């Protein structure tokens, strides 16, 4: 087996999950500081660090991100000495969002400075769900393993949701605001609008495959969605609940339709919605469970999502 010679450094949480789902967890020799799943990779050497403090309030994080990006620095740094020691055969990164992980340019610069070996760089840029299937296939091809069964299993789970929701009338499909950031207010986009559709909802404000738009609080109040789902980038359930309180304190909050009908939810966006890996399929199931409890019960409640 040529897999024995694989030494993979994954600089992207979703890529780490893809590699693990392909059965190559053992071949992962290094990871990013944000790769935390599956749990057995948490002891692997960390190859990146952040230039910002993610424990600050969301408004402050946004400000720091903007300042760092404007000064033409990457938000993340690569630990060159760790990379040098690991001598990877493959490095997986992304070229999609400079706020989510190390940029491709940084990785290429780092690779050019590696003296020992010349790893193959695999860069992912998923925008919609079919890009995820393609990414899994491409990673598998590069690493010399089979991906068909994994992709078929994931697609089958999505199809179960879409088949069960496709007979719903437009009246039975609630309008949904998926909040990706609270200060400033941003609406989740890219693959999220599709996930909402698969789960039997109508996604407001954002378009599949595009970046997250900013909206004003006034627009949100005026549109008055049936359902609010908080999925801030990089935050777990507890942190999301704490952040969502910022909106709860606004005077118009109590008048919102979703609030009055008890349809405001918090999720673990970090584990699910923000990561374009295999758990995007879990994310569809979470949405299905939230939007149509009369049809779906997967058991993610209180671990993946909860009522606010």
* pLDDT band at residue 105 using 50, 70 and 90 as cut-offs: confident
Residue 119 shares a structural domain with residue 179: no
Q: What is the pLDDT of residue 72?
A: 53
Is the pLDDT reported for residue 73 higher than 60? no
Residue 268 half-sphere exposure toward CB, CA atoms < 13 A: 15
Residue 83 shares a structural domain with residue 172: no
Residue 212 shares a structural domain with residue 303: yes
- Domain contains 194: yes
- What total of structural domains would you count in the chain? 2
Is the pLDDT reported for residue 97 higher than 60? no
pLDDT tens-digit series, residues 109-161: 888 877 677 899 999 988 999 999 999 999 999 999 999 999 999 999 999 99
Q: What is the pLDDT of residue 95?
A: 77
Q: What is the pLDDT of residue 249?
A: 87
Residue 173 shares a structural domain with residue 303: yes
Within a 10 A sphere around the Cβ of 306, how many other Cβ atoms?
Answer: 17
Q: What is the pLDDT of residue 54?
A: 65
Q: What is the pLDDT of residue 191?
A: 94
- Domain contains 27: yes
* pLDDT band at residue 1 using 50, 70 and 90 as cut-offs: very low
Q: Which two tokens stand for residue 47?
A: 């190859």
Residue 186 shares a structural domain with residue 239: yes
Within a 10 A sphere around the Cβ of 255, how many other Cβ atoms?
Answer: 10
Give the lowest-confidence range in 30-44, 49-63, 245-259: 49-63
Is the pLDDT reported for residue 288 higher than 60? yes
Please state the rounded mean pLDDT for residues 200-213. Answer: 91
Residue 183 shares a structural domain with residue 294: yes
CA–CA distance, 147 with 143 (Å, rounded to integer)? 10
Residue 111 shares a structural domain with residue 226: no
- Domain contains 137: no
Is the pLDDT reported for residue 4 higher than 70? no
- Domain contains 60: yes
Residue 119 shares a structural domain with residue 186: no
Say which CATH number the domain at 174 has.
Answer: 3.40.50.1980
- The 10 Å CB-count burial string (b at 16+, else e) for 258-293 is bbeeebbbbbbbbbbbbbbbbbbbbbbbbbbbbbbe
- Domain contains 297: yes
- Domain contains 64: yes
- Domain contains 143: no
Can you tell me which residue has the tokens 């005026």? Answer: 222
* pLDDT band at residue 26 using 50, 70 and 90 as cut-offs: very high
| Average pLDDT value over all residues in the chain | 89
Nearest to 8 by CA among 141, 150, 114, 122: 122
Burial of 115 (0-12, 13-18, 19+ CB in 10 A): exposed
Q: What is the pLDDT of residue 128?
A: 93
DSSP state of 12: S
Give the three-state DSSP class for 210. Answer: coil
Residue 189 shares a structural domain with residue 269: yes
Is the pLDDT reported for residue 52 higher than 90? no
Burial of 156 (0-12, 13-18, 19+ CB in 10 A): exposed
For the chain, give the percent of residues with pLDDT over 90.
Answer: 66
Residues of the domain holding 11: 2-125
Residue 205 shares a structural domain with residue 286: yes
Burial of 225 (0-12, 13-18, 19+ CB in 10 A): buried
Preceding omega of 78 cis (within 30 degrees of 0): no
- Domain contains 249: yes
Which carries the bigger pLDDT value, residue 210 or residue 19?
A: 19
| Boundary-marking domain end, from 125, 154, 184 | 125
Q: What angle do CA 274, 205, 210 make, to 5 degrees?
A: 55
Q: What is the pLDDT of residue 209?
A: 86
Please state the φ and ψ torsions of residue 230, each to the nearest 5 degrees.
-90, 125
Is the pLDDT reported for residue 92 higher than 60? yes
Residue 83 shares a structural domain with residue 181: no
Give the lowest-confidence range in 73-77, 95-99, 293-297: 95-99
């Amino acid at each position: 087996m040529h897999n024995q010679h694989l030494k993979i450094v994954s600089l992207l949480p979703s890529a780490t999950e893809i590699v693990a789902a392909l059965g190559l967890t053992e071949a992962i020799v290094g990871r990013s500081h944000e790769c935390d799943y599956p749990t057995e990779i948490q002891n692997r050497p960390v190859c990146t660090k952040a230039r910002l403090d993610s424990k600050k309030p969301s408004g402050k994080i946004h400000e720091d991100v903007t300042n760092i990006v404007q000064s033409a620095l990457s938000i993340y740094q690569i630990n060159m000495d760790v990379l040098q020691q690991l001598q990877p055969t493959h490095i997986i990164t992304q070229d999609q969002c400079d706020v989510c992980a190390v940029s491709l340019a940084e990785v290429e610069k780092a690779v050019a400075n590696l003296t020992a070996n010349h790893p193959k760089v695999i860069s992912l840029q998923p925008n919609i769900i079919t890009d995820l299937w393609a990414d899994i296939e491409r990673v598998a091809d590069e690493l010399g393993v089979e991906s068909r069964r994994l992709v078929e299993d994931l697609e089958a789970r999505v199809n179960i949701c879409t088949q069960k929701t496709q007979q719903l009338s437009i009246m039975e499909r609630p309008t949904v605001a998926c909040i990706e950031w609270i200060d400033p207010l941003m609406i989740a986009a890219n693959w999220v609008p599709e996930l909402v559709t698969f789960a039997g909802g109508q996604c407001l404000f954002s378009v599949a495959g595009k970046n997250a738009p900013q909206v004003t609080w006034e627009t949100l109040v005026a549109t008055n969605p049936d359902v609010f789902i908080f999925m801030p980038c990089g935050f777990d359930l507890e942190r999301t609940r704490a952040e969502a309180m910022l909106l709860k304190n606004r005077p118009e909050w109590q008048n919102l339709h979703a609030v009055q009908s008890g349809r405001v939810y918090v999720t673990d966006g970090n584990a699910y919605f923000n990561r374009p890996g295999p758990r995007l399929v879990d994310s569809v199931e979470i949405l299905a469970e939230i939007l149509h409890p009369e049809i779906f019960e997967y058991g993610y409640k209180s671990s993946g999502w909860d009522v606010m």
